[in-house]
A and B are shown apart, each in its own frame.
Chain A
């Protein structure tokens, strides 16, 4: 008898960092330090017994950590709220990894433009780390990051480090006294980047509302639909293609997503 699809694996919180009032960042390790075996862009189901399960994107690249992985989590519901109340050394359950990944093999030899909005930076971080760790395989790496306001600028220390490794442009929707940078929604950054559409892949991760506007900018830059990679959010309850909640027209996003080529889903009416 094969084991249950629904029994999580034991995992431990190695560290917790509070990023702001709604976001925390967790380093997780499976029991015995076993690797998760994930690829950038995949997700896991995080389990807190007595509360439930929630799908969370993996924030780290396997190229960075051999025995653990990171989860950046916004407190929005009961499960994420319960995880936010946990501390270093606490135990939780993990199922996965699930879903498709960013096509890091296919994009080798190309320039890469990563566009991340808000907590889209968490899943985007997994591919950004991969690109940095395998720099020789890729061309120019550009990251555009937009936050609502400076206090929601996630992982500021790491953003600082990225500036040394790649071209990073940031913007905030609304500035405060501390902010000296660009102000405006994420599309504000597009005119400031110079890309060669023939050799560029764009990777877009952000809130549902962001995609339509960013796609228009990508089209203005002449990037082919097959070179635009997007990661979509849905209600992934089971993660194994059974429960039906994540369905987008005929597609089970937990199976054939969350990462898609735009060319593959542009005619899927419920996609965007």
Chain B
């Protein structure tokens, strides 16, 4: 599909029609200056000028709570049924860094063992991304190479003032857009879009400058395993797991049973889990393979900058800055840690 132009008025009408037809999760203002992904009731609620959302859109792709099995209880019978929750949905307003994180999750749940629960749900989600026009005070996505993204989305929007420039990333996206009133983009539109992309660099605040390149991060971390940085930061860690909770590339989970009051049936449910929580690596007889806060703190950061590179082929930090903004003792800011490591700590 050639790039299209849609006026903001026509865009609103189209989003309203999608809300009626399939259901749209988009970015809304939750309270003054704080945004979240939530189901839209009308296109007027949409805030595509947001800086960052409190939690990433992953909650619609890998929900915090998901039923995996329904079963009946009893040692004399085997009655269990797999559950796949995969509702059709349009996810509207995804920023490039969050798109990059979703692409990494796609790889994790596709490689080795394909996970039907994730993949069926993902297949039914149409993603409409948008170039940011604002960045939060914590964001450093530009330095993480996540200011733009080239795959995973179905449609991508760039704000050109009174209209959006729309590119398709898939047939699914083209089909969705076919119900909108659009025109082919002209040469000026394409030039304006390129210019908007170039301006992305200036959105992240200068004080959020990362003093290492993306390519040198795995070895910077690899050589810093014994650094005092981890313990210095972690001694103030509450092990609350907030950094896990808001991270777009954290996907670890726990599985627990939920038994009906009759004690005859129940569900096996997957919940988000976090490697900063104390019992994350504990086994049945009580041995805890990551008992110390410092070890858990380091593990999370190593997952982002070192370990996951082998698994997903990329740094698993997209620079959204959410962990920095929610950390109560203010110890987990990756920019500060990377710059300390780079400074020789």
- State the A residues within 8 Å of B (CB): 1-8, 10, 31, 49-54, 74, 76-77, 79-80, 86-87, 89-93, 208, 233-235, 237-238, 240-245, 247-250, 255, 269-270
* Alpha-carbon gap, A249 to B309, bound state (A): 13
State whether the Cβ of B12 lies closer than 8 Å to any Cβ in chain A. Answer: no
State whether the Cβ of B285 lies closer than 8 Å to any Cβ in chain A. Answer: yes
- Chain A residue nearest to B254 (CB atoms) is A237
* Alpha-carbon gap, A255 to B273, bound state (A): 20
State whether the Cβ of B2 lies closer than 8 Å to any Cβ in chain A. Answer: no
Q: For window 109-143 of chain B, which residues contact chain A by CB distance below 8 Å?
A: 109, 112-117, 120
Which chain B positions have C-beta within 8 A of A241?
112-113
* Alpha-carbon gap, A269 to B251, bound state (A): 23
B77 to chain A, nearest CB (A): 6
Which chain A positions have C-beta within 8 A of B60?
none
State whether the Cβ of B247 lies closer than 8 Å to any Cβ in chain A. Answer: no
A254 to chain B, nearest CB (A): 10
Let me know if A235 and B257 touch, CB within 8 A.
no
Give me 16 other A-B pairs in contact (C-beta within 8 A), A7-B80, A52-B255 excluded: A1-B116, A4-B68, A4-B117, A6-B255, A7-B82, A50-B71, A77-B284, A80-B284, A87-B75, A93-B80, A235-B282, A237-B253, A242-B251, A245-B273, A247-B307, A249-B307
Which chain A positions have C-beta within 8 A of B281?
234-235, 245, 247
Q: A86-B75, A245-B273 are in contact. Are A6 and B117 (CB under 8 A)?
A: yes
Let me know if A90 and B109 touch, CB within 8 A.
no
Mark B34-70 against chain A: 1 for CB-CB distance below 8 A, else 0.
0000000000000000000000000000000000110
Let me know if A76 and B285 touch, CB within 8 A.
yes
Which chain A positions have C-beta within 8 A of B112?
240-241, 255
Which chain A positions have C-beta within 8 A of B275?
244, 247
* Alpha-carbon gap, A247 to B251, bound state (A): 13
Which chain A positions have C-beta within 8 A of B82?
3-4, 6-7
Let me know if A249 and B302 touch, CB within 8 A.
yes
Most buried by A among B120, B251, B252: B252
Which chain A positions have C-beta within 8 A of B287?
208, 233
Let me know if B75 and A90 touch, CB within 8 A.
yes
Let me know if B69 and A6 touch, CB within 8 A.
yes
**How many residues of B are counted as interface, with CB atoms below 8 angstroms from the partner's CB atoms?**
57
State whether the Cβ of B13 lies closer than 8 Å to any Cβ in chain A. Answer: no
Which residue of the partner chain, among A31, A49, A237, A270, contacts B72 with CB atoms under 8 Å?
Answer: A49
Let me know if B76 and A1 touch, CB within 8 A.
no
Question: Which secondary structure dominates where chain A touches chain B?
Answer: loop
* Alpha-carbon gap, A50 to B286, bound state (A): 22
A-B contact count (CB 8 A): 136
Which chain A positions have C-beta within 8 A of B109?
242
* Alpha-carbon gap, A114 to B259, bound state (A): 43
Most buried by A among B68, B281, B282, B303: B281
Q: For window 250-290 of chain B, which residues contact chain A by CB distance below 8 Å?
A: 251-257, 259, 263, 266, 268, 273, 275, 280-287, 289-290
Which chain A positions have C-beta within 8 A of B114?
2, 5
* Alpha-carbon gap, A37 to B58, bound state (A): 36
Let me know if A91 and B273 touch, CB within 8 A.
no
State whether the Cβ of B238 lies closer than 8 Å to any Cβ in chain A. Answer: no
Most buried by A among B75, B114, B282, B310: B75
* Alpha-carbon gap, A8 to B81, bound state (A): 9
* Alpha-carbon gap, A74 to B286, bound state (A): 13
Let me know if A52 and B273 touch, CB within 8 A.
no
Let me know if B73 and A50 touch, CB within 8 A.
yes
* Alpha-carbon gap, A53 to B114, bound state (A): 20
* Alpha-carbon gap, A270 to B275, bound state (A): 14
Identify the 9 closest CB pairs spanning chains A and B, nearest first: A244-B252, A250-B307, A4-B82, A50-B73, A77-B284, A49-B71, A10-B78, A90-B75, A76-B284
Let me know if A90 and B76 touch, CB within 8 A.
yes
Which chain A positions have C-beta within 8 A of B84?
1, 4
Which chain B positions have C-beta within 8 A of A235?
280-283, 289
Which chain B positions have C-beta within 8 A of A250?
302, 306-308, 310-311
State whether the Cβ of B180 lies closer than 8 Å to any Cβ in chain A. Answer: no
Which chain A positions have C-beta within 8 A of B257?
49-52
Cross-chain pairs A/B with CB under 8 angstroms, 11 sampled: A1-B120, A4-B69, A5-B113, A7-B69, A7-B81, A49-B257, A52-B257, A76-B286, A242-B115, A242-B251, A247-B281
* Alpha-carbon gap, A152 to B259, bound state (A): 35
A140 to chain B, nearest CB (A): 34
Which chain B positions have C-beta within 8 A of A245?
252, 254, 273, 280-281
State whether the Cβ of B229 lies closer than 8 Å to any Cβ in chain A. Answer: no
Q: A6-B268, A91-B77 are in contact. Are A244 and B273 (CB under 8 A)?
A: yes
Let me know if A2 and B255 touch, CB within 8 A.
no
